[in-house]
Amino acid sequence: MNTPFQLRSAVPLAGLLLLAACSNNAATNSGNNAAGTNQAQDAAAKTSTFTAAKGCKNIAVMLPESDSSARYEAYDRPLLEQEIKRALPGATIQYANANNNADTQQNQADAALTKGACIMVVDPNDSDKASVIVQKAKASNVPVIAYDRLIQDPDIAYYVSFDNVRVGQLQGQYILDQFQKGNYELKPGAKLVMINGSQTDNNALQFREGAMNALQPAVSDKRLNLVFDQYTPNWDNGRAQSLMEGILTQQRNDVDVAYVANDGMANTVIAALRSQKLNGKVLVTGQDATLTGIQNILIGDQAMTIYKPIVKEAQVTAQLVAALSNGTDPGSVVNGKTALKGGGEVPSALVTPIAVDKTNVASTVIADGFLTKDQVCSGLPTGAGGVCN
């Protein structure tokens, strides 16, 4: 059987490198308009700084966890392994998953260096703490590519991700559009709750920032009544459910919109809503276009998700790994710079996220082979979401 990532990656690489349009958000991504020559110079500097990378075939791939989203083991791991081996023939991969523990991740990084890793791809469990990993790698002249989540360290070689402020903006704008259309019986004063991701994940901060860019005006003039706004440590899905249960009790079931940062937490928030027969009545957002998320959309319990074509993220990462190893300029793969909170910027490759609801599941997630129609329709009633027949 073809797995979704195999189907997707059959599409030629060149056609996939549709990188993010320039972000105008100065707080997060800046310098996207910088001249290509500067980026080429930066790239050349990288390859001469990280001398251990030259000719390197021993690549460490380190992911943060597997509990909060289905993406890591289902997509990121196999895609990174496949794409790195394709871009850099002869490459071997040392894979490690930190299981939601920053100390574990640090130990895994030490172990990888001891075993000769000479280029590291690290999706940090904690965006600040992972700086130690970058510094230890640097001491061995080994470059670290921050993958998906930013590492707050000026010495990372590259940052590869989606435009994460844009992710939040798409989620927030979706809520606003539904409000303006009067869908979900939304009226002025509608109660909004925000269940955000983990505060130690820089992405979670950017998702909330983007969402607030869209929602703040409506919150300020009381069209939306923001009654709850919290981060969820470790993106813990069970914790999101208890938060929602508590909110429903406190608000006497009077909640209209649940901004939920990803599909894993959205699914448990929906479980809390189901037990009060409020599923489908409350607008719930998500992210990751997981199988469960898409099925929740098709049965009407979740309004939307964000589809992030992880295959592109993995391919861009693989290109950067190959460029570092070959000592070549990665060229237009690097399409911007990302500001660090302590000052400075890192060269970045940001891919464009896509908002998905039942109207475009077929033309995005299914058309791309990210999920197959058989997968999403399995167990759903005929006609679900206008997609399953």
Q: Which helix (H) or strand (E) holds 272?
A: helix 263-274
- 176-215 positions binding ligand BGC, by CB under 6 A: 197, 201, 203
Distance (Å, whole) CA 226 – CA 237: 21
- Least Å distance, CB 254 to ligand BGC, is 28
- Least Å distance, CB 49 to ligand BGC, is 27
Of 201 and 256, the one with the shorter C-beta distance to ligand BGC is 201
Q: Which of 277, 312, 317 is nearest to 123 (CA)?
A: 317
- Least Å distance, CB 164 to ligand BGC, is 7
Distance (Å, whole) CA 369 – CA 285: 22
What does the per-residue mask of binding to ligand BGC show for 109-138, with x meaning CB under 6 A? ------------------------------
Of 71 and 337, the one with the shorter C-beta distance to ligand BGC is 71
- Least Å distance, CB 59 to ligand BGC, is 21
Q: Which of 210, 80, 237, 49 is nearest to 143 (CA)?
A: 49
- 48-87 positions binding ligand BGC, by CB under 6 A: 68-69, 71
Q: Which of 277, 326, 329 is nearest to 301 (CA)?
A: 277
- Least Å distance, CB 76 to ligand BGC, is 9
Of 68 and 296, the one with the shorter C-beta distance to ligand BGC is 68
- Among 262, 302, 305, 338, which residue sits at the site for ligand BGC (rule: CB under 6 A)? 262
| Distance set, CA 332 to CA 36, 317, 326 (Å) | 8, 13, 16
Of 218 and 240, the one with the shorter C-beta distance to ligand BGC is 240
- 268-307 positions binding ligand BGC, by CB under 6 A: 287-288
Of 69 and 178, the one with the shorter C-beta distance to ligand BGC is 69
- Among 76, 81, 148, 313, which residue sits at the site for ligand BGC (rule: CB under 6 A)? 148
The reply to whether 5 sits near ligand BGC by the rule CB under 6 A is no
The reply to whether 163 sits near ligand BGC by the rule CB under 6 A is no
What are the contacts of 268-276 at 24+ separation with CB within 8 A?
268/237, 268/238, 268/240, 268/241, 268/244, 269/195, 269/240, 269/241, 269/244, 270/296, 270/301, 270/302, 271/241, 272/241, 272/244, 272/245, 272/248, 273/244, 273/248, 273/301, 274/301, 275/245, 276/248
Q: Residue with structure tokens 């940062």?
A: 261
- Least Å distance, CB 64 to ligand BGC, is 7
Give the start-end residues of each E strand in the chain: 29-30, 58-63, 92-97, 119-122, 144-147, 158-162, 190-195, 224-230, 257-260, 283-284, 305-307, 336-339, 345-351, 354-356
The reply to whether 149 sits near ligand BGC by the rule CB under 6 A is yes
310-326 and 77-87 helices, crossing angle to 10°: 40
Of 88 and 314, the one with the shorter C-beta distance to ligand BGC is 314
Of 83 and 148, the one with the shorter C-beta distance to ligand BGC is 148
- Least Å distance, CB 149 to ligand BGC, is 5
Footprint of ligand BGC on this chain (CB under 6 A)?
68-69, 71, 148-149, 197, 201, 203, 235, 262, 287-288
